[in-house]
Structure 1
Amino acid sequence: MTVATPLAPGITFTRISTDHAKVRALVGAFWFVPVAVLLIIAAVAWSSLLWLIISLAAVLVLILTVTAVKVRAVYYTGYHETDEELLVCRGIMFRRLDVVPYGRMQEVKVEDGPLLRGYGLASITMETASATADAKIPGVPRAEADRLRRRLTELGTTKMEGL
């Protein structure tokens, strides 16, 4: 699967795993539970069923909207490897293109949590010599994350020697 962005015309980005959309949806659902419990406690304390129904509906709509946007954003997130740098694009309405030169890369981290592990995914975080050039690629299949880590580390070391 690929992603195209007007920020880099003519470049085709490798899209992150669509399973990451499921992870984001689950995270959104988890947010609703504690908020709903707090609203129920407040409604019982104030003895107001109408207040409970209205506030639960408002919170549900808000969480569903935010979750839907985050889930949809997965389809607009991708990365592209060139000879000199890694390009990471993301965003639906507010688009962003991160360019990470291999020679400036200082650390490449592969991270996962219980939800990502459950779907066989990981996130890759690249730290560079410049604090503004750091980038993150979420929701990459674990095998691809390990391959990217090895490749980026190797290219970072090779390109840094030339500086």
Structure 2
Amino acid sequence: MTVRTPLAPGVNFVRISTDHAKVRAILGLVWIVPIAVVLVVSLVLWTDLIWIPIGLAALLALAITITAVKVRAVYYTGYHETDEELIVCRGIMFRQLDVVPYGRMQEVKVEDGPLQRRYGLATITMETASTSADAEIPGVPRDEADRLRRRLTELGTTKMEGL
């Protein structure tokens, strides 16, 4: 599947794995479930103090909204490899386009946590000579992440030799 963005018309970005939406949803539950439990307990214990349940309900609604937006953002995150640079796009409302020249890459890391490993995913982090040009691609299938790390490292070494 591909991602298209008005920031780079005509460029087809490779979309990250949709399993990353599951990872983000589960991480969102880490916040939503405790808030919901506290809300139910407060409704039972403090029926005369209406502001406590109202505040907790608003907090629960906010946690659900933030989680839903983070899950939906997975479908707007992707990357595109060119001969000279890697382009990463993300964002629904606030779109971001990161362009990382291969010759400026200093380090490429592939990381995964227990939840990402469960779904066979990893996060690729690229560090460059400029701290403002660093980029991250979450939710990449592990095999693709390893391939991309090898390719980016190789291209980074090759392109840096010309500097």
TM-score, normalised to structure 1's length? Answer: 0.91
| Equivalence for 2:116 | 116
- Contact preservation (8 Å) 1:3, 1:14: yes
TM-score, normalised to structure 2's length? Answer: 0.91
Residue 53 of structure 1 deviates from its aligned partner by 3.7
Stretches (4+) displaced over 2 A: 33-41, 49-57
Distance (Å, rounded) in 1 between the aligned partners of 2:71 and 2:40: 28
Distance (Å, rounded) in 2 between the aligned partners of 1:57 and 1:74: 26
- Contact preservation (8 Å) 1:40, 1:52: no
Distance (Å, rounded) in 2 between the aligned partners of 1:114 and 1:105: 27
What are the Cα deviations for residues 64-86 of structure 1, in whole angstroms up to 9, with x where unaligned?
10011101100000000000000
| Equivalence for 1:87 | 87
| Equivalence for 1:76 | 76
Distance (Å, rounded) in 1 between the aligned partners of 2:142 and 2:83: 23
Map 1:1-163 onto structure 2 (within 5 A): 1-36=1-36, 43=42, 47-49=45-47, 50-51=50-51, 53-163=53-163
What are the Cα deviations for residues 86-125 of structure 1, in whole angstroms up to 9, with x where unaligned?
0000001110000000000000000000111110000000
Residue 59 of structure 1 deviates from its aligned partner by 2.2
Distance (Å, rounded) in 2 between the aligned partners of 1:99 and 1:72: 23
- Contact preservation (8 Å) 2:105, 2:128: yes
Gap regions ≥5 residues in structure 2: none
Number of residue equivalences: 161
User: Identical aligned pairs, as a percentage?
Assistant: 77
Distance (Å, rounded) in 1 between the aligned partners of 2:119 and 2:25: 13
Pairwise CA RMSD of aligned residues?
A: 1.9
Residue 55 of structure 1 deviates from its aligned partner by 3.5
- Contact preservation (8 Å) 2:39, 2:57: no
Distance (Å, rounded) in 2 between the aligned partners of 1:75 and 1:131: 26
Q: SS where residue 92 of structure 2 aligns?
A: coil
Distance (Å, rounded) in 2 between the aligned partners of 1:149 and 1:34: 38
